Structure 1
């Protein structure tokens, strides 16, 4: 019997050949600030409540979970506010699965998914995985988007799905409501505002949830991975018109959210006030990173997220490697002259800033702090 030795030996879909799977470098370093995790642990009192909920769910784990995850949807509706009800909420195993459900329902072969690049690197992979075509629009030099230009690009592309990351990953750039409104009016298909990092925006920054009424093709997605320090639990969710939610039921797998996941998420949401105290601490460290990067001669971009993208790096690969050798892992997102760092705890932030200040840019006649 012959032995399969590579993907070339398998009848893989032609449009998947040559692709590489998504993934950031993983390494056992003391300070890992590369994947925008909330590096604060779940508070002990909240962890105890979550464990109690999981323990109760375990007593019935021989049965399938609530397929409609009713209690969790109600908990999300209560947390989000804005008059939302459970019938307008959807959830999945991380916001990536929620976005995948959207593309399975509204994209697919022969259809187009559109976003403004650079943006979240999973968008094109999700489009590819559902057989859709990904098309990237453009942003201004500071990564912002104007309403008129956004609408023009959407009309020119005529996509079936538009993905608007707000604030944007990997740049941290906020997105004005005028852009969302203009894109919605210009689009024939559905429009998704991905608010994965919304809790890190200024307290007076409104959510696109305020735009949902009267816009049945609009959805706003969120995640518990960032603000709730729940990356390992894998819980994402969205709010939309009830008919939009019905469309997602057509493509989800049966019982896709386990009883243990539902119990853990409900308990975390029940303790949202305690959980969100971490957000303010992270914002302090994010702003500290920005100020120190400026002092070191770098060019950080405005960020409403839990990370900072900074330019002025003459040799990103060399600087990334030098930090790695000092036990600090950050992210090279492929934007020339830039690196991205997650805002961690005070100690982790200090370790990153000290390491960055201690190294010299390996490029000729330049220091790490010099702007390119």
Structure 2
């Protein structure tokens, strides 16, 4: 096959120079870089999923339920707050949900606003949908002051505001007062990305509780984290039925496979079992925060299943030192910081030992 480079293809001018999103996928003994749940489904749940998929396979010659109606009803029951199927939409991971939102509410001549550091896919998705991105700095301790957020939204008049709670990569949870301030001011829609919601500390509220009061508020979730289904790619949102109807204008036909739908439904049937791991991971997270602070590191308060810590004069050297010892973390966030996903007790012990070795040599 003849040589061909990107510069020889008619790639959109605004995409030239971009690099694909993604964390390193390396074979290491302790992978703590992509915020996955380290506890796999039980043998019983795996068998239940296998049986459900096998039954579904008998009908794979037919298209799936185009609108995933039964799955959406189950997701609504899981969320509670009086939601119904009409309030919920599902897709291939919360990233596809976010992309659909930007397709339908963003586009040329429109602006999406976010507070950084935050999820690095937000500006990427904005750019590939032709939406202008405006990133504003978070305040002290990576928090967002409600009145400062209100003033920023009033000043810039964005079509979309993208908030994250808990925030990736810092782990910071939003106060509902901040969501309310933005929702009361934004002329467009406000999206609260709650991919890590189940890991919040006790008493930390969800923006789902505000949906009744703010019809232009949208809350996105995923089953990749707390439900340990990263490989299944199931994301969803809760919103006013009008917003769900709008998303169907841009969704691809039969976008969510029959097997994806039945895997998600089976997992929801076993939610109690799956979510039991959340308490274990919360305890490991809090222990990690305490240990890192005792070692003298600055650590961001975390309501997620990861911890951001620093600061390092050469974080790349620390990252490489950990990798050499079989521990993979993420080099992400503000300069000088690293992020570690919360793993099992054994994995976290390996991380602590490796970090001590690396920093002792540094």
Q: Which TM-score band (shorter chain)?
A: over 0.9
Corresponding residue number in structure 2 for 1:289 = 288
Corresponding residue number in structure 2 for 1:104 = 103
Change (3 A) 1:72 1:349: same
Corresponding residue number in structure 2 for 1:166 = 165
Corresponding residue number in structure 1 for 2:302 = 303
The 3-state SS of whatever aligns with 1:37 is coil
Check whether the contact 1:127–1:133 (CA below 8 A) recurs between aligned residues: yes
| Alignment size in residue pairs | 362
Corresponding residue number in structure 1 for 2:253 = 254
Paired with 2:78 and 2:296, the residues of 1 have a C-alpha distance of 41
- Of 83-92 and 47-56, the range deviating more from structure 2: 47-56
Corresponding residue number in structure 1 for 2:207 = 208
Check whether the contact 1:199–1:227 (CA below 8 A) recurs between aligned residues: yes
Paired with 1:24 and 1:78, the residues of 2 have a C-alpha distance of 33
Unaligned runs of 5+ in 1: 364-372
Are residues 1:69 and 2:99 paired?
no
Corresponding residue number in structure 2 for 1:27 = 26
TM-superposed deviation, 1:4: 5.0
- Of 248-257 and 210-219, the range deviating more from structure 2: 210-219
Paired with 2:202 and 2:92, the residues of 1 have a C-alpha distance of 27
TM-superposed deviation, 1:203: 3.0
Paired with 1:215 and 1:286, the residues of 2 have a C-alpha distance of 33
Corresponding residue number in structure 2 for 1:6 = 5
TM-superposed deviation, 1:3: 4.0
Paired with 2:322 and 2:336, the residues of 1 have a C-alpha distance of 16
Corresponding residue number in structure 2 for 1:60 = 59
Are residues 1:227 and 2:236 paired?
no
Corresponding residue number in structure 2 for 1:245 = 244
TM-superposed deviation, 1:139: 1.0
The 3-state SS of whatever aligns with 2:142 is coil
Paired with 2:318 and 2:128, the residues of 1 have a C-alpha distance of 33
Are residues 1:193 and 2:192 paired?
yes
Deviations 1:49-86 (A, max 9, x none): 11111111111111000011111001101111111000
Deviations 1:90-116 (A, max 9, x none): 010000000111000000111111100
Deviations 1:125-160 (A, max 9, x none): 100111111110111131001110011111222111
Are residues 1:341 and 2:340 paired?
yes
Q: How does 1:268-279 map to 2 (within 5 A)?
A: 268-279=267-278
Relative to the length of structure 2, the TM-score reads: 0.98
Corresponding residue number in structure 1 for 2:43 = 44
TM-superposed deviation, 1:16: 0.3
Paired with 2:155 and 2:325, the residues of 1 have a C-alpha distance of 47
Q: CA RMSD in A?
A: 1.2
The 3-state SS of whatever aligns with 1:360 is helix
Relative to the length of structure 1, the TM-score reads: 0.95
Paired with 2:290 and 2:352, the residues of 1 have a C-alpha distance of 11
